[in-house]
Amino acid sequence: MTAPSSLKDAVLGHDGAMPYRVTFVCTGNICRSPMAEAVLRHHVEEEGLDVEVDSSGTGGWHVGDGADERTVAALERAGYRSAHIARQFEPSWFGRYDLILALDGGHLAALRSMAPDEEARGKIRLLREFDPDAAGDLDVPDPYYSGREEFDLVLGQVEAAMPGLLEEIRAALKEG
């Protein structure tokens, strides 16, 4: 089976009776994925979309911790709010999500290796696939060992993917 050509193809079977569920996955769930979670949550709440948004990490180093203070600061500077507790993605969770968004190719590979079947693998995408200006560079860099500028860059990349992601989510909800 080939990868789905659209989000609609990836979520066949979503009947619209339950909220559409999106999760973002990075390494430790303290920088990139909670940032993406906060930005998408802001947009779906603003539009009143029936979408649940959360995030997790491929590793368990920070389980139970809040988001990195630099992530929170970057979000606050841009007008977003975040109340986040880190957790690790579990293979048993594939069934609960309609869309699983990896922040880089390493997370994509890790998630695909955990996926129990082709249906689950079809739910996994890279966030920057939704940014028309990504120009083939689909990884969101890890800002953990960097400063404010890198966190702001990451936030900018996350925000750039939102219009395309929201368009796909709206289409999936409409197809419901």
Q: Which residues are catalytic?
A: 26, 32, 142
Distance CA 115, CA 1 (A): 14
- Let me know: does 171 contact 136? Beta carbons within 8 Å: no
Contacts of 167 (CB under 8 A, 6+ apart): none
Can you tell me which residue has the tokens 């920057």?
128
Q: Among 163, 94, 97, 93, which Cα is nearest to 128's?
A: 163
Q: Among 129, 170, 165, which Cα is nearest to 39's?
A: 165
Distance CA 133, CA 141 (A): 16
